[in-house]
Amino acid sequence: MIARCPDVILVGIPFDENSSFLRGAAQAPSKIREALHSSSANLSTEFGRDLGAEPRFRDAGDLSLPSGAVAFAAIEQGVAELLENGDRMVALGGDHAITYPIIRAFAKRYDRLSVLHLDAHPDLYDEFDGNRLSHACPFARIMEEGLIGQLVQMGIRTMTPEQKAQAERFGVEVVTAVQWTNEIGAKFGGPMYLSLDLDVLDPAFAPGLSHHEPGGVSVRDVLSAVQSIRAPLIGADIVEYNPVRDVNGVTAMVAAKCLKEVVDRMLSAAGQ
């Protein structure tokens, strides 16, 4: 019997209560969808796959979330339900704090998940401003709970001594912005998860972000890194887009472009 090809389900997670500096990322999912479907562009990926004519790509809308710490249980539950039939999922944040409950849901289905985390920041603080669920902390929570098998962070350019100690403690492989390689995807086996914090990009390419960290990479670099993925990519998130800071919606279009190429990898034969 031939197994059914998994669908790719898009879900919005409009939650930014754990942002340490600015709110606004909760408004991102609807703005990214608008950009994705804008008549100024089309839905074809760079490999020529028309996502507009792709029955396996479905939009589940946004999760409806309560306020406060209980939102994390709701995110975990909502994602677990989307994964029930063996489908793949790409989530639109929200701030980066949402990756922790998302990964908790994935960890129930997948042993020893490999995670590629693209970000200016390692997000490994034990706590930030007294908040252990801060968007500066998700990978500390994920690693201390042993939820995944491998974490590779790339694009990092804000490492602090505390987070360096955390990276060593948890065995995180850190590839700095200086060491960036467009071929990173080729080094992963599956199943694989991609967490894309858009502030890995230079603010020149993506002004619509809460944390402008100069010295970042280009949109082309991120697309190339995504396109180098050969392992089964079973989950992804695209986080930290902040429409309040955007200029003419340019960052929404960047997020939509990244989304298209991530979905292409999830649908590809190489990724089965």
Note the residues at the interface with Mn ion (CB under 5 A): 96, 119-121, 123, 197, 199
Residue with smaller CB distance to Mn ion, 89 or 140:
140
Residue with smaller CB distance to Mn ion, 153 or 224:
153
Residue with smaller CB distance to Mn ion, 44 or 158:
158
> What is the nearest approach in angstroms of Mn ion to the Cβ of residue 248?
22
Residue with smaller CB distance to Mn ion, 155 or 185:
155
- State CA 136 to chain mean position distance: 14
Contacts of 61 (CB under 8 A, 6+ apart): 11, 12
Backbone angles phi, psi at 212, to 5 degrees: -85, 110
Q: CA nearest 18: which of 74, 77, 61, 72?
A: 72
> What is the nearest approach in angstroms of Mn ion to the Cβ of residue 204?
16
> What is the nearest approach in angstroms of Mn ion to the Cβ of residue 87?
25
d(CA 233, CA 272): 8
How many Cα neighbours within 13 Å face the side chain of 64? 0
> What is the nearest approach in angstroms of Mn ion to the Cβ of residue 97?
9
Residue with smaller CB distance to Mn ion, 12 or 155:
155
Residue with smaller CB distance to Mn ion, 87 or 199:
199
